[in-house]
Structure 1
């Protein structure tokens, strides 16, 4: 299976060749709440080499609590959030689930930064939770060919 996505106006699109994401997370940090109009962001993390984007992206960067620079990417025409990129994890792309085409079948397996969630937030009890930043996700390692 591969994934695809596009913004609301169609100016930005993506093809993701990975058969599955490294992980799928919901984030309640304050910066994500601002990016998501008060809610959480829902994100699938893929190896960077598996993500091909077309179109022009707008960006906004800031220093995250980790000390890394986090860059948010969005369509400058319609404002659709596309992805995020951490300077500490350049090998990964954090794609917004709302950007991906319907039918992707992905749902968060982890909820992070729950300490910053508003009191009304509904935290999925089926998911692993972290009050802050979890350990960094690891890209899947390709199988070693038999010799």
Structure 2
């Protein structure tokens, strides 16, 4: 069964043709804190080639903690963050796990993302 999810207003939906994320964790970087208005963002690492996003989206290019460009993907209607995509590793996408469908969120086993893990996953 693929991973599926949507933004708050359901104008943007997505599916990922995998059973479980490659990794799920709490990202405590400053950008994720500002984007969520919280002390962290729950993220799910998925292969970008298996991710299909439906509906209009906006991409905003910012600079990540590594100094590389990170694209923030969000719904232009309700502003819900959908994913962030590091330019340093175009093969991956970090879904905002709060946008996953409820039955999928209930099975996630997050770990705390450290700078070392994040840098290793970004190539």
Would you call these one fold, judging by a TM-score over 0.5?
A: yes
Question: If each structure's helix is expressed as a fraction of its own residues, which one has the higher value?
Answer: 2
Max radius of gyration: which structure? Answer: 1
Alpha-carbon deviations, 1:74-108, whole Å to 9, x = none? Answer: 11101111000000110011101111110111131
TM-score norm. by structure 2 comes to 0.89
How much is the aligned-residue C-alpha RMSD, in angstroms?
Answer: 1.5
Does residue 77 of structure 2 align to residue 77 of structure 1?
Answer: yes
Could you say which residue in structure 1 is the equivalent of 2:53? 53
Map 1:20-59; keep pairs closer than 5 Å.
20-59=20-59
Map 1:59-98; keep pairs closer than 5 Å.
59-98=59-98
Matched positions, count: 119
Q: Is the 8 A contact 2:29 2:65 kept in 1?
A: no
TM-score norm. by structure 1 comes to 0.75
Equivalent in 106, 109, 113 of residue 107 of structure 1: 109
Instruction: State the 1:53 CA deviation.
Output: 0.6
Instruction: Show structure 1 runs of 4+ deviating over 4 A.
Output: none
Unaligned runs of 5+ in 2: none
Q: Is the 8 A contact 1:61 1:72 kept in 2?
A: yes
Unaligned runs of 5+ in 1: 113-129, 139-147
Could you say which residue in structure 2 is the equivalent of 1:137? 121
Q: Distance in 1 between matches of 2:65 and 2:44?
A: 21
